[in-house]
């Protein structure tokens, strides 16, 4: 299927000025296509960024039948535009769609759509180190009906906007609060899918911990309240004795992050040992207290790596690596961003240039 382009390249020079708050400024165009059961995906097009027209009874607005993705385009040191593992996002989008009873999007059409949008709006890809163009593929249920049941009609759209360097002053550790009463997701539920309801459900906990000065919530499993799952919208890694990287095994309620997967693939080539395990929070905290755990960090597309300096659990703060960014976090951050920006050779086939 060919994608119609309705728009001209913009002249915006992607310098990503600091006044662009992440997620609040968008490029000039968007991709859009509509689905009907009779005709499948129709009229794929790139058009000027604009408001959607939805019936107030549209299923997405009532029952949250929606999914999304998050990936980035990077301007490389030789001025190419790089996407990082876009097919991994496209496949995860389809897995989320399946869980939410939404239609699949052809992988090639989706990749062509991403490329068509980023190509047209490429002047929006910042040239500042650490900055990027954040891309948000989305699918929503549009059938005007309040009767509970999967929608018949859907809209797939993609928007994009500049994202500044997450860490302007270098990697800075964050304080994290371990949720002891709130839970994010349960096995058998939708925690594995990137679907809006998961994030709405986490807002109250985030609000409460932020009032106490913590930047993120660490989630424990919903059944026993004992096993480590994720931190905010990131996966989490623990480093034992500066060399062994341990992350929770995918449990059915953890979002399978692409950054997590990249670390599990990359780290062994850099001489680290990696393990995916079920991690008991009491053991983790004891290993922090004894100094066996030398670093903790979150990982996700937005920050790449986000060191954790403090973990708060049941009235007590546990400080990690003297609240400093550790060498392993820094090493992985430099390697991953090196591949994304073309400073380091990509031996994994992860980078897809436009
Ligand atoms: C998106 C997301 C992640 C990180 O996934 P990446 O593919 O690495 O960006 C982790 N946890 C949650 C809950 C997420 O939504």
In a domain, 13, yes or no: yes
> What's the rounded Cα separation, in Å, for the pair 73 and 150?
33
Shared domain check, 179 and 119: no
In a domain, 348, yes or no: no
Nearest CA to ligand 1 atom 6: 257
Least confident window among 21-25, 289-293, 308-312, 330-334 = 21-25
Shared domain check, 181 and 134: no
Under DSSP, the state recorded for 342 is: T
Tell me if residue 323 falls in helix, strand or coil.
helix
- pLDDT of the residue at 300: 97
Beta carbon of 259 within 6 Å of any ligand 1 atom:
yes
Shared domain check, 207 and 296: yes
Higher pLDDT, 167 or 347: 347
Shared domain check, 159 and 10: yes
**For the domain that residue 287 is a member of, what is the CATH number?**
3.20.10.10
Shared domain check, 207 and 125: no
Beta carbon of 336 within 6 Å of any ligand 1 atom:
no
Indicate the average pLDDT of the chain.
95
Shared domain check, 325 and 202: yes
Shared domain check, 184 and 157: no
Q: What is the 3-state secondary structure (H, E, C) of 34-90?
A: EEECCCEEEEEEEEECCCCCCCCCEHHHHHCCEEECCEEEEECCCCCEEEECHHHHH
Tell me whether strands 174-178 and 216-220 are parallel, antiparallel or unpaired. Answer: parallel
In a domain, 51, yes or no: yes
> What's the rounded Cα separation, in Å, for the pair 346 and 339?
6
Shared domain check, 255 and 131: no
In a domain, 349, yes or no: no
> What element of type H or E holds 224?
none
b vs e for 79-113, b when ≥16 Cβ sit within 10 Å of the residue's Cβ?
A: eebbbbbbebbbebbbebbebbebbebeeebbbbb
Number of domains in the chain: 2
- pLDDT of the residue at 133: 94
The pick from 300, 303, 336 for probing ligand 1's pocket by mutation, whose C-beta has the most ligand atoms within 8 angstroms, reads 300
**For the domain that residue 157 is a member of, what is the CATH number?**
3.30.470.10
In a domain, 347, yes or no: no
Tell me the DSSP string of 257-322.
-HHHHHHHHHGGGGT-EEEEE--BHHHHHHHHHTT-EEEEEEEETTTEEEEEEEEEETTEEEE-GG
Beta carbon of 257 within 6 Å of any ligand 1 atom:
yes
Domain finish residue from 130, 164, 198: 164
- pLDDT of the residue at 181: 94
Containing structural domain, residue 68: 4-164
- How far does Cα 16 stand from its chain's mean position? 20
> What's the rounded Cα separation, in Å, for the pair 100 and 194?
10
> What's the rounded Cα separation, in Å, for the pair 298 and 300?
7
- pLDDT of the residue at 8: 85
228, 288 in Cβ contact below 8 A? Answer: no
Model pLDDT for residues 18-56, shown as the tens digit of each residue: 567 788 899 999 999 999 999 999 999 999 999 999 999
Shared domain check, 128 and 77: yes
The pLDDT of residue 16 is above 60: no
Domain finish residue from 115, 137, 164: 164
Q: Label residue 37 exposed, middle or buried (CB < 10 Å: 0-12, 13-18, 19+).
A: exposed
Whole-angstrom CA distances from 88 to 133, 187, 261 are 18, 22, 10
Shared domain check, 294 and 221: yes
Averaged pLDDT, 273-284 = 98
Nearest CA to ligand 1 atom 10: 234
Model pLDDT for residues 88-135, shown as the tens digit of each residue: 999 999 999 999 999 999 999 999 999 999 999 999 999 888 899 999
Distance 69 CA to ligand 1 centre (A): 9
Tell me the DSSP string of 123-148.
GGS--STT-EEEEEEEEEE--B--SS
In a domain, 346, yes or no: no
In a domain, 9, yes or no: yes
Give the atom of ligand 1 at the shortest distance from the alpha carbon of 260. 8
> What element of type H or E holds 161?
strand 154-163
Domain finish residue from 142, 164, 186: 164
- pLDDT of the residue at 14: 53
Model pLDDT for residues 179-198, shown as the tens digit of each residue: 999 999 999 999 999 999 99
Percent of the chain with pLDDT over 90: 90
In a domain, 354, yes or no: no
Shared domain check, 187 and 122: no
Cα angle 87-90-95, degrees, rounded to a multiple of 5: 125
Beta carbon of 320 within 6 Å of any ligand 1 atom:
no
> What's the rounded Cα separation, in Å, for the pair 105 and 97?
9
Shared domain check, 188 and 111: no
């Amino acid at each position: 299927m060919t994608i119609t382009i309705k728009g001209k390249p913009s002249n915006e020079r992607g310098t990503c000025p600091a006044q662009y708050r992440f997620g609040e400024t968008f490029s000039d165009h968007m991709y859009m296509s509509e689905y009907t059961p009779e005709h499948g995906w129709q009229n794929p097009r790139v058009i000027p960024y604009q408001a959607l027209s939805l019936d107030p009874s549209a299923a997405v607005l009532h029952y949250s039948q929606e999914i999304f993705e998050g990936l980035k385009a990077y301007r490389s040191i030789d001025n190419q535009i790089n996407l990082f593992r876009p097919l991994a996002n496209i496949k995860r989008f389809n897995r989320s769609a399946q869980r939410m009873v939404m239609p699949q999007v052809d992988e090639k059409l989706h990749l062509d759509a991403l490329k068509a949008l980023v190509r047209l709006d490429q002047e929006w890809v910042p040239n500042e180190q650490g900055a990027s163009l954040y891309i948000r593929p989305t699918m929503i249920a549009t059938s005007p009906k309040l009767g509970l049941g999967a929608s018949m009609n859907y809209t797939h759209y993609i928007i994009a906007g500049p994202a500044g360097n997450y860490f302007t002053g270098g990697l800075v550790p964050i304080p994290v609060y371990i949720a002891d009463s709130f839970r994010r997701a349960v096995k058998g539920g939708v925690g594995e899918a990137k679907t809006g309801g998961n994030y709405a459900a986490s807002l109250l906990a985030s609000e409460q911990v932020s009032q106490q000065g913590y930047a993120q919530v660490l989630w424990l499993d919903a059944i026993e309240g004992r096993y480590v799952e994720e931190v905010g919208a990131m996966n989490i890694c623990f480093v034992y004795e500066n060399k062994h990287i341990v992350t929770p095994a995918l449990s059915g309620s953890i979002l399978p992050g692409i950054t997590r997967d990249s670390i599990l693939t990359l780290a062994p080539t850099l001489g680290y040992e990696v393990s995916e395990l079920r991690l008991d929070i009491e053991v983790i905290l004891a290993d922090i207290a004894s100094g066996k755990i030398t670093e903790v960090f979150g990982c996700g597309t937005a920050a790449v790596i986000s060191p954790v300096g403090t973990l708060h659990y049941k009235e007590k703060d546990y400080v990690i690596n003297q609240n400093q960014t550790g060498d392993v976090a820094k090493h992985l951050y430099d390697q991953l961003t090196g591949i994304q920006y073309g400073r380091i050779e990509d031996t994994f086939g992860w980078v897809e240039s436009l």
